Each structure stands twice: as structure tokens, then as C-alpha cells.
Amino acid sequence: MPQVIFAAVVAVFYFLLRYFNRTDVPKIKGIPEVPGIPIFGNLLQLGNDHARVAARWAREYGPVFQVRMGNRRIVFANTFESVRQLWIKEQSALISRPTFHTFHSVVSSSQGFTIGTSPWDESCKRRRKAAATALNRPAVQSYMPIIDLESTASIRELLQDSQSGTVEVNPTAYFQRFALNTSLTLNYGVRIEGNVDDEMLREIVAVERGVSNFRSTSNNWQDYVPLLRLWPSKNREAEEFRLRRDAYLTTLLDMLKANIKAGTDKPCITGNILKDPEAKLNDAEVKSICLTMVSAGLDTVPGNLIMAIAYLATEDGQRIQQKAYDEINAVYPDGDAWERCLLEEKVPYITALVKETLRFWTVIPICLPRENIKEIEYHGAVFPPGTSFFMNAWAANYDETHFESPQRFYPERFLTSTEGAGTPHYGYGAGSRMCAGSHLANRELYTAFLRLITAFTMKEAKNVQDRPIIDAIECNSIPTALTTEPKPFKVRFIPRDESQLKTWLAESDDRTKHYS
């Protein structure tokens, strides 16, 4: 009898272990697997810093390997070439996104998924097409007055708050508002009028930051180990963020609807969709586009801008600022760069600075996850449909077989060498689901860099403890976040020519009166 009980206990234990240890897709033959432990797989080893741990493993197991994160099998690609092979060459197969418990079932239960978190289906295709049309090159050119207004507002406030360069300031909030107001005006035709302490600005930034953490690959173990979902606090936290997000998204949409009714609305993407009887988007799809527009540029644009400012203010950054300033003056000897940058992108050094910033800080170090809808063959191995793929964009952007001295911040690399050919970096991801807002983001960054460099000389803070951490991973204040949130630091913004700057600001005010 005791032997029977013992055998039964062993059998139950065995089946439970097998049940909790199963993976969504079977082990992929021919792709190295990193050994893990039962139930958790490699979660513990991956820890908070997936990008650096995976890069280390790539040295041992090769550029592409598989891991188990709880009951999910994940394929990691870690080099520039392996990402090209999978994300670009196989883009028609690698076109979907996996779903995750916390983000898809809890956080998104009322407003739906953003485009960047939607699996590939007819609705996603429609939404991506609508976003791509609203964000293509000519459309972005028509939004330049918004970028004029918002960059002017941020630079004016920086000038005031830094009191002609005598007071050191943390640039973060100025560029969060820059990115958020650009998105809000574009999408709803409204902007936050208040200064950088505005309550709504702080609420949206805080909530979107919180939600972004629920999208991170390293923050939510309950996504990989279903047993952990029995722990209620994680769901509760996600629920709270969902409700706070619902509140402002509903307010913004209602404001737009009321403006349309009163005939006082300003041209904007959602307004165009709502007023277009031919628009084939339902309410849920409109909400998804709004959500995407509000959230997509909110962490990413400021993360890049703020870290570039951090670098420009360092000793080596002085060389880059001077070079950029000289190049701007060479192209615009009449001092009209401030205005001309709204019409054209004619200073190659600033374009190179934008690309190097996107490469160097790779603000989404583990790119938004992908899933294949068809089999993919890779060096003799076959990935079955439904396999999850993580692009280690940080490792690929620091791949020394592709970039010379990748640890060096060196915009010049994108001026001459073959490093800039094709997809220059993976800051925007790659292939069929690459960032749909890259033209807009590039113009935001180009305009902001050009104007900041013509307006100020940026210098590092006097006290060492107020200076930034430059390293792309270490600079992040929340290691498990999806997007880099720079640790606070201060910079001196010293006006190059205050009266000239005030003239440019006034000219921008004149041009953008009808937007504010």
C-alpha cells in the first residue's frame, strides 16, 4: 500500500511538473538552447537586464539561440546580420506579435491594443495602414508647424528656467512635453498649454510610463509562469493603470467630439477619421490608433533627445556641438537655419547625429516582440509558426562585426561608411512591423537638435553628482522598463546669442499663432 501511494505521489508530481514545464512551441532542432531550470526556464538567469545577459550568451551559443521563459519558448537574435536575416529577409513571415497576459488581458481590456502590440490580422492591417498614411513623408511635412510650435515652447522655457545659462536644469520634462504635445495636437487637435509642471502632462507621462513597464519583456514573470497570476497584487496594479489611462483617453476623445460638433475642431488624424464616412475603422480601431499615437512617441522621442543632450554636454560632446554648429552655418550662412529646418533636412551632420543617437541609446533595447505566421528556415533549422522572437536591438546596434568601435558615440560613422547603408540601425526595429512613426520621430529629433545647437552651448553640470551616466544600459532608471527612462541629471544651457534667439522665438510665435 505505501508503495502505491508513493508511486501515485511521484506520478502526480511528474505530471504536474510536465504540465507546468511545457512550452508553447516544442524545442527547435538545430538552434542552441541555453540550459534552464524547471518551470522558470531561464527567467532567473536573464534577470532584469535581458539585453546584456543575452549578448553574453550569444558569445557562447552563437548569434541566435533559444531560451525558455516559463512556458514560452523564445528565440533571441543578437547580431546585426542575424536580425537582418530574420526580421528583414523573412519579413512576410515574421509579421505578427505575441500576446502576453498582463498587457493584453489586464491593461488593455478597455481601450484595446496599440498597433505595436497587436497580432497580425485584418484589423491590425487596417490600423497600421491608417497610421502609415497619417505618418508618411508628405503627411509629416504638413505637421511641421506643430514641431515648430513645440520646439519653440520647450526652448523658450529652457531659456527662462536656465536664466541665461546661470542655473543648471534637468531637460527631461521639457522634452516629454515636446513629444506629448506633438502627439496630442496631431491626434486630437489639442495641446497642453501649461508649463512643464502641468498636472495632465505629469499624469499622462506617469501612466504611460507605468503601462510601458507592463509591456516590458523582463518585468512580468506572470506572463511566463501562469501560476504567478494567482498572486493578486500584480493584476491590481495593472488594473489601476488601466483605469487612470481610460480617464484621460476618454476626456481627450470627448473633447475632440465636442469640438467637431461645435465646428471648432482643428485638423487632426482622429478628426479626419471620425468625419470620414468612407473610413472603414470601427470605434475600437479608432481607440487603438489614438492609444498608439499618444503612447508611441512619449518615451522614445524624449529618451533619445535627453540622452543626446547628456552626451553633447560632456567634454567630447563639445567637439560634436562645435562641428554641428559649423556645419549648420556652412549650409545656412544667412542665419535662417531655425526656419529652414522646417522645410528641409539639409545638414547631413545633424541627420548623422540623429542616427547615431538612435543607435547608441537604442531606447527599446529588446525590441517589441514578434511572432511568425509561417515557417521560417534559418541555417537548416525550422521555426514553426507561433514562435516568439526577441530582437536584442541593443546588442545588434553594438555589434563590432558591423560597427567600427561601437562603444564610441561618433555621428561621423553615418556620413561616409557603409555602416549607414540599408537599415542603418535597429533603433526603430526592422522589417514589416518596423516603427510606423520613424519619419515623424526623425523630423522631431532633427528639428530639436538643430534648434538646440543653434540656440545654446550645452555644458555639463559643475557638480559631478549632477552629471549623467552615458552608458546605454546604465543610464536607465528602471532596468526592467520596455523603454529607457534616463536617470535625472542637469545641464547648463548657455545661449549663444540671446537677442538673436529671442528674435527666432518671436518669429516662430508669429508662424504658429493659429496652433496654440
Nearer to ligand HEM, 427 or 495 (CB): 427
Question: CA separation (Å) from 479 to 52, 218, 274, 486?
Answer: 11, 9, 39, 10
Question: Does the protein bind ligand HEM through residue 212 (CB under 6 A)?
Answer: no
Q: Nearest distance from residue 435's CB to ligand HEM, in Å?
A: 3
Question: Does the protein bind ligand HEM through residue 434 (CB under 6 A)?
Answer: yes
Binders in 167-186 for ligand HEM, by CB under 6 A: 183
Question: Does the protein bind ligand HEM through residue 441 (CB under 6 A)?
Answer: yes
Q: Nearest distance from residue 359's CB to ligand HEM, in Å?
A: 10
CB atoms within 10 A of CB 102: 22
Binders in 351-370 for ligand HEM, by CB under 6 A: 358, 363-364, 367-368
| Span from 19-27, 127-135, 416-424, 469-477 in contact with ligand HEM (CB under 6 A) | 127-135
Q: Cα dihedral sign for 416, 419, 420, 425?
A: negative
Helix (H, G, I), strand (E, B) or coil at 189: coil
Q: What is the DSSP string of 369-433?
A: PEE-SS-EEETTEEEPTT-EEEEBHHHHHT-TTTSSSTTS--TTHHHHSGGGSSS--STT--GGG
Q: Are 320 and 497 in contact (CB under 8 A)?
A: no
Q: Nearest distance from residue 4's CB to ligand HEM, in Å?
A: 54
Any known ligand binding at 435? yes
Nearer to ligand HEM, 219 or 357 (CB): 357
Q: Nearest distance from residue 150's CB to ligand HEM, in Å?
A: 12
Question: CA separation (Å) from 341 to 9, 301, 353?
Answer: 73, 18, 15
Nearer to ligand HEM, 200 or 434 (CB): 434
Nearer to ligand HEM, 256 or 301 (CB): 301
Binders in 102-121 for ligand HEM, by CB under 6 A: 115-116
- H runs (alpha helix) in 70-229: 80-83, 122-134, 137-142, 144-161, 172-188, 199-215
Q: Are 362 and 50 in contact (CB under 8 A)?
A: no
Q: How far apart, in whole angstroms, are the C-alpha atoms of residue 266 and residue 417? A: 44
Residue 271 contacts by C-beta under 8 Å, 6 or more apart in sequence?
188, 189, 256, 259, 260, 265
Contact map string, positions 274 to 313, toward ligand HEM, x by CB under 6 A: ------------------xx--xx--xx--x---------
Give the total of residues touching ligand HEM (CB under 6 A): 29
Which stretches of the chain bind ligand HEM, using CB under 6 A? 115-116, 128, 131, 135, 183, 292-293, 296-297, 300-301, 304, 358, 363-364, 367-368, 427-430, 433-437, 440-441
